[in-house]
Chain A
């Protein structure tokens, strides 16, 4: 259930492009044709599925406050999280390079379709953003981190696929001259983002109701206990 929720949330509710505006540069630059958009989207899913879990491991066992405790008790007080930017980006750049080499060696046809996009990905903010959000949302285990990587990638893929398809069609429309190209793409993306906002309440709606009901019950039935627990909370 946890996995399904995270999967749905990363694709629709927190869509990389429409909710957080990550990876906009390549989203705007490479969305002129559906076929190239699909190539780049696939490469993003691929790289995110590798780098997010990898950075999760780095974060949990090296960078976090007290993460170095497995080396020995005296390392428990180390907090290297200020190094996370440089570590994450180094991992991403290296992985992209590595993936490029491996794909070129084992699957020349995939390399030909993805090849030119791979170097672009190292500077795609969606990839680094995925790792940074993974860190700031405190994803608890490796499986979920892997899930988060893949589903954020899929979200980005869907976004670029949709805009590429719209841009192919809009070529036949009569857009005001100064808006042609970039301008209209911006406005369409804005409208799509408004559309995606409707997913917003889907996962939070149920969660918000439950605690409210529970507290109401507690208030009516056990007022004294409630007061005591309130005091405890304040002390904490």
Chain B
């Protein structure tokens, strides 16, 4: 990474693991859970958040010296809302079916706490380039969790990945279904997303003992 200094690279790599927005900072849970029944939806959501957070962080960082601190929340919300409207319109134009599945959750990117949290904690105090990197890093950290959850839920729940039937056809009993394997329809239901994230947190914290909470 010749382009990035060591400190800058850390801005991107940190949120991927030890300072992950979902499992450590507890930000942006709502959307992470609601739309992860399919891998495709999780990927699109990640890209949308990447766009909004990367660009929003730059905009807020550029305006940080002229925003009066009393009304900063409203200003931040307006910036995010504008970006989200762009995402929503693009999705409706080029991926209408998908925008139906995501329904209100595209709109809810506005109140996704990752975005407000990074604006408050980072963009208001740092320059545009570093804010941009921080935005990219955090949305990648968010994307990692979303994609892991989406991967397992789609694989175990409907036996497919991105719509391809990787485990064979459940009706004609090909692939693993020939041996009596059944899809676990429970994985498609919303509560299993919570439990999957709980297990990811468990794995992550047992690998890195420093993250364990003392209750």
Contact = CB atoms under 8 A, between A and B. Distances in A.
Contacts of B195: 186-187, 190-191
Given A24-B29, A128-B107, A177-B212, A186 B194 contact: yes
Interface in B94-139: 103-104, 107-108, 110-113, 116
A25 B30 contact: yes
Interface string A25-41: 10011000000000000
B19 to A, nearest CB: 14
B198 A184 contact: yes
B212 A182 contact: no
A125 interface: yes
A194 to B, nearest CB: 5
B88 A182 contact: no
A216 interface: no
Interface string A187-214: 1011101100100000000000000000
A23 B108 contact: no
Contact of B30 (A89, A125, A184, A190): A125
A85 B30 contact: no
A181 B215 contact: yes
A124 B111 contact: yes
Contacts of B82: 86
B26 A187 contact: no
A90 B29 contact: no
Interface of A: 18-25, 28-29, 82-86, 89-90, 93-94, 97, 119, 122-125, 127-129, 132-133, 136, 171, 175-184, 186-187, 189-191, 193-194, 197
Interface of B: 23, 26-31, 33-34, 73-74, 77-78, 81-82, 84-85, 88-89, 103-104, 107-108, 110-113, 116, 189-195, 197-199, 201-206, 209, 212-215
9 contacts: A20-B34, A21-B30, A86-B82, A90-B74, A125-B31, A180-B212, A182-B26, A190-B193, A197-B191
